[in-house]
Chain A
C-alpha cells in the first residue's frame, strides 16, 4: 500500500514569492492534515480536512496561507507571499475514519521550505 505522497520535497524561494505544496493521502483515508514543523519543534496543525470539508483551520494564517482539497482526495497548501518565518517542513498526514477518532496519523515525507 502506498503511503502519503508529498511534493516537492525541497523548495527554495525568495521572500514575497508564492509557493505551493501537494499531497496525496493513503487511499481510503478521508481525513487529511497539514502540519508545520519548525526545527527542533514538534509538528503543529495548520488545517484538518474531513473529505473535502475543512473542519479545523483555526491555526492557519489566513492572510497568506490557503488550502484546498478538491474531490476529497489530493490537497494543495499555498503560501502567498512567503515570509522568512515560513521556512519550515510542511508535513501532510492522513488517517482513516477510525484513526481520526483516536489520533493515529500517517505522515508523508514532508516538503522542506527555505525562504531567503
Chain B
C-alpha cells in the first residue's frame, strides 16, 4: 500500500465548476498536510497547508482534513483554465529526529474553457 494515494485522473471540469481532489494516507501519526500545484515542466509550488481537522479556506481553494478517516481533500471553486495542472498531495511525519515529507503521485486537472 502506498503511503500517500491520490486518484491519478485525469480530472476534467468545465470552467466555473468545482474541482474536487482527494488524497488518503496510511500513517496515522502524520502531522501536516499540503497541496502542491505543478504546472507541466515546472516545479511544485505550495498552495495550501492544513494541520488540524476541518476546513481551511484561501481564496478559491479549500483544504479539508479528516484525521480519523486519514483523508485530505482540495476543493477549487470557480475553476479557471489557469488551474489546469497536476496537484500533489504531501504528508509530513516527524518522529524523533526523522522528518519525512511524502508525496502522492498527483492528480492531473484540466479545466475546460
- On A, residues with C-beta under 8 Å from B are 40-45, 48, 55-56, 91, 100-110
- On B, residues with C-beta under 8 Å from A are 4, 8, 31-32, 34, 42-46, 49, 51, 88, 90-92, 94, 97-101, 103-106
Residues of the A chain whose Cβ atoms lie less than 8 Å from the Cβ of B31: 102
Q: Helix, strand, loop or mixed for chain A's interface? A: loop
Residues of the A chain whose Cβ atoms lie less than 8 Å from the Cβ of B106: 40-42
Using A40-B105, A42-B88, A42-B104 as known contacts, say yes or no to A101 and B46 having CB atoms under 8 A apart. no
The CB with the most chain A CB atoms within 10 A, among B43, B91, B92, B101, is that of B43
B34 and A104 form a contact (CB under 8 A):
yes
A103 and B92 form a contact (CB under 8 A):
yes
Residues of the A chain whose Cβ atoms lie less than 8 Å from the Cβ of B98: 56
The residue on A at minimum CB distance from B46 is: A104
The CA of A43 and the CA of B43, in the complex, are separated in Å by 10
Q: Helix, strand, loop or mixed for chain B's interface? A: strand
Residues of the B chain whose Cβ atoms lie less than 8 Å from the Cβ of A91: 43-44
Residues of the B chain whose Cβ atoms lie less than 8 Å from the Cβ of A100: 99
B100 and A45 form a contact (CB under 8 A):
yes
The CA of A42 and the CA of B86, in the complex, are separated in Å by 10
User: Mind listing 29 A-B residue pairs with CB under 8 Å?
Assistant: A40-B106, A41-B106, A42-B4, A42-B90, A42-B105, A43-B103, A44-B103, A45-B100, A48-B99, A55-B99, A56-B98, A56-B99, A101-B94, A101-B99, A102-B49, A102-B92, A103-B32, A103-B34, A103-B90, A103-B91, A103-B92, A103-B99, A104-B49, A105-B101, A106-B46, A107-B44, A108-B43, A109-B42, A110-B43
